Structure 1
């Protein structure tokens, strides 16, 4: 008889695949200020090595959606608090293991390890209890239950708790005579502490400052503590020997899956903690809808790094049928470059599976994010700025596909207007012909009318709003006229006031 068995695939973590431990910083990071953003997000969490996780973009829609599903479930505040407690508990266990490695007395090190093992089991039990009250992360709950019920873990947990209870129940008497200390089993001797306190109680005058101190405050015992411990070990050698054998049998207790999930939770919490102040200020975040290549619809998006220091302006943008490149024109300091960076950031953050800035966001998972920003003159580089731009552009354009995102900022501003115009037209046509999504910030209005696939966006100084509009060269002039009170309405008002 043939028996077919369906074997469930092993649990590979919340995200379905471990986060990378190493990753090169993408070439577009500095242009989009993502290097600064990631630095701000992981600040204070450096020991968890999260920079590679925030650098390595996913290009598979299913993998992105798996991460999104985890963030959707972590929107449950109780579940989020439970997973935060899980991470804190594991960190506490790690500190106990580290303390065991630091101390010199072997019996003290064994006790630290015993405490750490018992704490680890308690953390797992607490996570199971919390997950059982939630509808989220059911796969994680199923794995934890199976892991906790396994024979090895169940036996380890039972023995650890029994040993702790036995150690906690030890009773002995210390006798101090001069500089000599002896230990003996406790035999129901009179408690001299109570009598001494009663004797001196009559001399109390009001409240006095306490003079108690915690002998456990420091990880390392002094010579007196060690000597007393040695005496107690001689009184109860059996239990201490069993503790030693137990910790020797369990040199490493954390399951690799626990390590994977902890790092995933550190990654998620780092981002959620970073965006929390912006959310409390009323700024929207959402999980993007993944669309076919070329589709882009965004409402109320903003620069998330800027939002960490001041209230940003939100903008809407969309690419309709037959549209693929956004050309942004307008006055200096009008928000053009910030807008371009925001779009680039959106694609990267969305490809990490993160909640992104915006009330609603629909875009595709790009195969590449390519940027070209003016980098100015650099010490030690013998090439001119124009030569550097041409070289970088020549290297970039062959990489562009119909799934790429291209962010261009003020191309060829170091040369003459005529040369910049001619070269910019060639570059933009290459991007259009490749079918990529593009954002082009430029001072050349003609680019906004280059092709039906181009969408013209304009900005105005002071508002930082980006809207669809014809780039006719008047936006900058109008902003200057308004600033100096020279618009038609302003002039009429002034003339009328003096009539």
Structure 2
């Protein structure tokens, strides 16, 4: 089958993505706790073990809280087939446009429903095929395979019919051709008809169980003395699926099912022989390309549902425009995790970022807890979702074509490595400088907080020119306002507060000059010494 992917236009792009995914930067020496539960007699024991977690998610993914947005359905881990997408940046804008067109197609409810039906049915096909290899009873293996074969055809045919009427994008039209080639394979329709015929005959096998004392009598002919049917007629009860029991819904059979299936083989020897002969030929199902389509469609569907949930809350969404230039124009952005936890857009402050050509980035300063880190994170999230082709929270979004996103967020000192906090920061930034290509976005949050303000200022001034040499765009959240006042090629942004109430945060990030001294009210509040706090303590007799 010809190459196809919802993520890449050709095999070369996929190979490049795999290469990029192996070149990410991870925090060193981090551990997570794994829990294992087992029973000792009637007592449940929970055992916790520390395991290395450093190479699970790269720095930018964790610092931007992207796992909560993109990996919630995967339990926070990078699944196979998706990892390369999430850890790579396309070399050309056309690949991103290719992905955007697919998301736009999913805005059509008919296509969304068709893709969702395919995803659900294909998941069932894979489950049935697994059961067919795990079952230890030949006839039961055959039944699972027949179920999978029939559902596989309907799965492909259903998606084909949907796309034939609705597809507009290059990606889905390529998929349409692929599905048609699959359906038009020589002898495939006859194979489906034969599988359907055998499956229908097996489905029509019903038996009546009559229990008397310590024996169970099995009758494959309809028993005229069926007590359940007699009661149903007397009381005029409607037919209900609860009147029957469906067996054989798992790979392993219980003793009763094993005995019953041997009786089926004796009662219907010709049908069972035909089923076993048909399965022995075992035409392969679940083509690798369609398995890839299943995994990739699941990611697109979850992305569409994420966007739909944000729209319901009133958040503005748009498809970013990417160009080969260095300017940023983001209007109305916010942190996605904040948006997901909010009841509506009215509960969240939306912010902007405007960087003209020649402006290398922005220093973000201001009061503590004023939204600076959240703002920087929202810029990174917006840039990354744009690479995936997803709609982003914004009224308008114009971004440069980025070759990577690199982050450096301050963390607690790590006792797993033998370096102090400052030295570990320097090691991390050295790796960034060595690995980052040209035209990347760098989000630096409170660097060098473990040293003096003067040293932090000097170290930052040494770092920034090296990032600019790589044509990088820098968003630097800092506790050192002197950096913003001496900026070269950077704009200054400030976390705003209400003028009439100097300590009440608005969470708006605006253009402005950094304050060169700390706000006394912040220090007073920290130590519970503001005017209102002192009055309250006096009134309470403290």
TM-score (norm 1): 0.82
> Does structure 1 conserve the Cα–Cα contact (< 8 Å) formed by 2:317 and 2:394?
yes
Deviation at 1:350, TM superposition (A): 2.0
> Does structure 1 conserve the Cα–Cα contact (< 8 Å) formed by 2:317 and 2:393?
yes
**Pairwise mapping of residues 243-392 of structure 1 onto structure 2 (< 5 A)?**
243-250=275-282, 252-310=284-342, 311-392=347-428
| In the alignment, structure 1 residue 12 sits paired with structure 2 residue 55 | no
Which residue of structure 2 lines up, in the alignment, with residue 32 of structure 1? 64
> Does structure 2 conserve the Cα–Cα contact (< 8 Å) formed by 1:293 and 1:366?
no
* C-alpha spacing 1:334/1:174, structure 2 compared with 1 (3 Å): closer
> Does structure 1 conserve the Cα–Cα contact (< 8 Å) formed by 2:321 and 2:397?
yes
Deviates more, 1:72-81 or 1:169-178: 169-178
Which residue of structure 2 lines up, in the alignment, with residue 143 of structure 1? 178
> Does structure 1 conserve the Cα–Cα contact (< 8 Å) formed by 2:350 and 2:508?
yes
Deviation at 1:172, TM superposition (A): 9.5
| In the alignment, structure 1 residue 443 sits paired with structure 2 residue 479 | yes
> Does structure 2 conserve the Cα–Cα contact (< 8 Å) formed by 1:405 and 1:438?
yes
Deviation at 1:169, TM superposition (A): 6.1
Deviates more, 1:374-383 or 1:71-80: 374-383
* C-alpha spacing 1:350/1:197, structure 2 compared with 1 (3 Å): closer
Which residue of structure 1 lines up, in the alignment, with residue 540 of structure 2? none
- Unaligned 5+ segments in structure 2 are 25-56, 498-504, 533-542
Deviation at 1:353, TM superposition (A): 2.4
**d(CA) in 1 for partners of 2:206 and 2:408?**
74
**d(CA) in 2 for partners of 1:472 and 1:177?**
90
**Pairwise mapping of residues 366-445 of structure 1 onto structure 2 (< 5 A)?**
366-399=402-435, 402-445=438-481
Deviation at 1:348, TM superposition (A): 2.3
* C-alpha spacing 1:208/1:98, structure 2 compared with 1 (3 Å): closer
| In the alignment, structure 1 residue 464 sits paired with structure 2 residue 507 | yes
Per-residue CA distance 1:331-390 (angstroms, 9 max, x = gap)? 111111111122222222222222222222221232232222222322144433333333
**d(CA) in 1 for partners of 2:283 and 2:430?**
56
Per-residue CA distance 1:154-173 (angstroms, 9 max, x = gap)? 23212112223444567999
Which residue of structure 2 lines up, in the alignment, with residue 214 of structure 1? 245
**d(CA) in 1 for partners of 2:237 and 2:191?**
51
Which residue of structure 2 lines up, in the alignment, with residue 69 of structure 1? 101
**d(CA) in 2 for partners of 1:224 and 1:386?**
67
**d(CA) in 2 for partners of 1:105 and 1:386?**
63
SS at structure 2 position matched to 1:192: coil
**d(CA) in 1 for partners of 2:520 and 2:194?**
80
> Does structure 2 conserve the Cα–Cα contact (< 8 Å) formed by 1:96 and 1:112?
yes
SS at structure 1 position matched to 2:506: coil
**d(CA) in 1 for partners of 2:239 and 2:106?**
49
SS at structure 2 position matched to 1:133: helix
**d(CA) in 2 for partners of 1:389 and 1:71?**
38
**d(CA) in 1 for partners of 2:237 and 2:266?**
44
SS at structure 1 position matched to 2:63: coil
**d(CA) in 2 for partners of 1:182 and 1:379?**
68
**d(CA) in 1 for partners of 2:67 and 2:277?**
49
**d(CA) in 2 for partners of 1:200 and 1:416?**
85
**d(CA) in 1 for partners of 2:139 and 2:194?**
18
**d(CA) in 1 for partners of 2:381 and 2:301?**
19
* C-alpha spacing 1:474/1:207, structure 2 compared with 1 (3 Å): same
Q: Among residues 168, 191, 194, which one is paired with 1:159 in the alignment?
A: 194
SS at structure 1 position matched to 2:245: coil
Deviation at 1:177, TM superposition (A): 11
Per-residue CA distance 1:418-450 (angstroms, 9 max, x = gap)? 222222222223333443111111233332243
SS at structure 1 position matched to 2:336: coil
- Unaligned 5+ segments in structure 1 are 1-8, 487-499
**d(CA) in 1 for partners of 2:465 and 2:453?**
18
Which residue of structure 2 lines up, in the alignment, with residue 132 of structure 1? 164
* C-alpha spacing 1:198/1:469, structure 2 compared with 1 (3 Å): closer
> Does structure 2 conserve the Cα–Cα contact (< 8 Å) formed by 1:117 and 1:253?
yes
**d(CA) in 2 for partners of 1:236 and 1:433?**
78
Deviates more, 1:433-442 or 1:423-432: 423-432
> Does structure 2 conserve the Cα–Cα contact (< 8 Å) formed by 1:445 and 1:472?
yes
TM-score (norm 2): 0.76
**Pairwise mapping of residues 161-200 of structure 1 onto structure 2 (< 5 A)?**
161-167=196-202, 192-193=224-225, 197=229
Per-residue CA distance 1:435-469 (angstroms, 9 max, x = gap)? 31111112333322435521111112521111111
Deviation at 1:198, TM superposition (A): 5.2
> Does structure 2 conserve the Cα–Cα contact (< 8 Å) formed by 1:301 and 1:316?
yes
> Does structure 2 conserve the Cα–Cα contact (< 8 Å) formed by 1:400 and 1:431?
no
Which residue of structure 2 lines up, in the alignment, with residue 6 of structure 1? none
CA-based RMSD of the aligned residues comes to 3.9
> Does structure 1 conserve the Cα–Cα contact (< 8 Å) formed by 2:150 and 2:192?
yes
Deviation at 1:286, TM superposition (A): 2.4
Deviation at 1:66, TM superposition (A): 1.4
* C-alpha spacing 1:40/1:228, structure 2 compared with 1 (3 Å): closer
Which residue of structure 2 lines up, in the alignment, with residue 92 of structure 1? 124
Deviation at 1:401, TM superposition (A): 5.3
Deviates more, 1:269-278 or 1:289-298: 269-278
